[in-house]
Amino acid sequence: MLLLSKMLSESQKTRGLLLFSLFMLALALAALVFVVWRFHDAGRLARELERTKELLQQRERERDLAQDELFRRLYEERELNKEKIQLQSQLSEYEKCAALAQLALGAAHEINNPLLGILSHLELELKNPLDPEFRSEVEQCIAGTKRISATLRGLVNYARPSPPTLSKISLQRLVADTLTFLEHQPMLRGKHLENAVPADLPHIRADANQLSQVLMNLLLNAAQATPEGGRITIAASKLTFVDSIEVRVIDTGGGIPPDILSHVFEPFFTTKRGKGTGLGLSISQAYVKSHDGDIRVDSVLDHGTTVTFTLPVRQEKPEEREKQESEVVV
């Protein structure tokens, strides 16, 4: 009996140990499953984090592209506004020129005929024997009448310049002839004139009369600004990347103040009170533009002024070349 009891007790202990082992095994298995699940969940979270990071980078790239597009459109809008302002300014200038043309033509019609009559009468009066005081008054009247006539001609030439008559021109010879024509002018005495235009410069097609007028206007302006002993130089060169000739009239005068420089091409603008009409540069600009050229003025106070204008080297058509037979007109 006692032996049986011992065997039952041992059996119960073994069963308990077995149950405890099974419980611990189940607990360990559960812990293992929990760890595996956590690792799997961490990997999923890492993948989600990586996708989120990529999405964020994509959004940043899209934002940068949108900003670049916005800046580009703002820049284009600003440039369009600049062009609009320039076009409006040009339109205003054209309207001003049209009104000035009408005024000039009307003035020419209304003033020129009576003015010629007055001038003829004064010149006839001058041929009669006159006392010195009266003769001086008549001469002053003639000078004033001729000044009005010159102003009127300049106004008409500016308002409605005649179309250029193009000929093949040697610029070096044209400059030489212009300097020869002007060298005896009183305002050029005591000043050094230099023709620095190379003889091998390509010939251009231009209106010789208009181009000579431009050169004379620029030379006379330079002479008025240059003190005695100063130098006035005309230079020219072929531009490198365009088929054009650049002409420069350089003086060693006192220069033009910056606040005046921006107005030099305006009609009737002059700082030479009583000595000029203020149309010389305006007419020169009109002539240069009629040749599809450009003109500008650069000046430094106490160092001098440089007026630069460019003219295209016009290529002759074959029929024009045969007709002219390489004739050079100056």
Q: Are residues 174 and 148 in the same domain?
A: no
Tell me, yes or no, whether 180 and 137 share the same domain.
Answer: no
pLDDT (0 to 100) of residue 90: 78
- Do 136 and 215 have their domain in common? no
Res 157: pLDDT = 67
Q: Are residue 245 and residue 263 in the same domain, yes or no?
A: yes
Quickly state the pLDDT bin for 247 (edges 50, 70, 90).
Answer: very high
CATH number at residue 185: 3.30.565.10
Q: What is the mean pLDDT of the chain?
A: 79
Query: Looking at the predicted structure, is the pLDDT value of residue 328 above 60?
Result: no
pTM of the model: 0.54
183 belongs to a structural domain: yes
What are the strands of the beta sheet with 304-312, ordered from one edge?
192-196, 231-238, 244-251, 304-312, 294-300
* 141 and 190 share one domain: no
Helix (H, G, I), strand (E, B) or coil at 117: helix
Rounded alpha-carbon distances, angstroms, from residue 72 to 69, 77, 84, 179: 5, 9, 18, 53
> How many residues in the chain?
330
- At 236 the pLDDT is 93
pLDDT band at 245 (very low <50, low <70, confident <90, very high): very high
In this structure, are residues 252 and 226 in contact, taking their beta carbons and an 8 Å threshold? yes
Q: Which amino acid is at 131?
A: D
Say which residue, 204 or 129, is predicted with more confidence.
Answer: 204
The pLDDT of residue 118 = 84
Phi, psi dihedrals of residue 229, rounded to the nearest 5°: 90, -5
For the residues 237-264, what does the mean pLDDT come to? 88
Has residue 37 been placed in a domain?
Answer: no
Tell me if 191 is assigned to some domain. Answer: yes
User: Can you tell me which residue has the tokens 């004033």?
Assistant: 144
Beta strand pairing call for 231-238 and 294-300: unpaired
Say what the pLDDT of residue 329 is. Answer: 39
**Taking a C-beta distance cutoff of 8 angstroms, is the pair 220, 182 a contact?**
yes
Query: Do 136 and 201 have their domain in common?
Result: no
Same domain, 147 and 177: no
d(CA 310, CA 245): 6
Residue 246 has pLDDT above 90, yes or no: yes
Whole-number Å distance between alpha carbons of 180 and 5: 153
Strand, helix or coil for residue 10: helix
Q: Is the dihedral of CA 247, 227, 210, 324 positive or negative?
A: negative
Mean pLDDT to the nearest integer, 228-242: 90
Q: What is the pLDDT of residues 125-174, one digit of tens each?
A: 878 877 788 888 888 888 778 777 777 776 666 666 667 788 888 999 99
Residue 135 to residue 129: CA distance in whole angstroms: 9
Domain co-membership, 123 together with 189: no
What pLDDT does 140 receive? 82
Residue 64 domain flag:
no
Residue 75 pLDDT more than 80? Answer: yes
The phi and psi torsions of 306 (rounded to 5 degrees) equal: -125, 120
Range of the domain at 195: 167-324
74 assigned to some structural domain = no
153 within some domain: yes
Measuring CA to CA, which residue among 248, 261, 226, 244 is closest to residue 295?
A: 248
Judged by average pLDDT, the poorest of 20-29, 90-99, 311-320 is 311-320
Say if residue 313 is in the same domain as residue 276: yes
Q: In this structure, is residue 66 part of a structural domain? A: no
3-state class percentages of the chain: helix first, strand second, coil last, to nearest 5: 65, 15, 25
DSSP category for residue 276: -
Report the amino acid identity of residue 276.
G
Residue 189 one-letter amino acid: R
Which of 143, 159, 175 represents a domain boundary (last residue)? 159
At residue 326, the pLDDT reads 42
Percent of the chain clearing pLDDT 90 (strictly above) = 13
Residue 143 and residue 172 share a domain: no
- 34 lies in a domain? no
User: Would you state the pLDDT for residue 4?
Assistant: 54
- Per-residue pLDDT, 41: 64
pLDDT at 266: 80
According to DSSP, the β-strands at 231-238 and 192-196 are parallel
- Spatial separation of the C-alpha atoms in residues 205 and 211, rounded to whole Å: 11
Q: Which residue has the higher pLDDT, 48 or 329?
A: 48
Q: Alpha-carbon distance 157 to 273, whole Å?
A: 22
- CA-based nearest residue to 237, from 207, 267, 183, 201: 201
282-305: average pLDDT: 88
Query: Of residues 305 and 19, which shows the higher confidence score?
Result: 305
Say whether pLDDT at 267 is over 60.
yes
pLDDT band at 315 (very low <50, low <70, confident <90, very high): very low
Q: Is the pLDDT of residue 274 over 70?
A: no
3-state SS, 133-196, equals HHHHHHHHHHHHHHHHHHHHHHHHHHHCCCCCCCEEECHHHHHHHHHHHHCCCHHHCCCEEEEE
DSSP state, residue 317? P
Residues 319 and 189 reside in one and the same domain: yes
Domain end marker among 142, 159, 176: 159
Domain count, the chain: 2
Q: Are residues 146 and 273 located together in one domain of the fold?
A: no
Of 140, 159, 178, the residue that ends a domain is 159
pLDDT confidence band for 324 (50 / 70 / 90):
very low
Average pLDDT over every residue of 198-215: 88
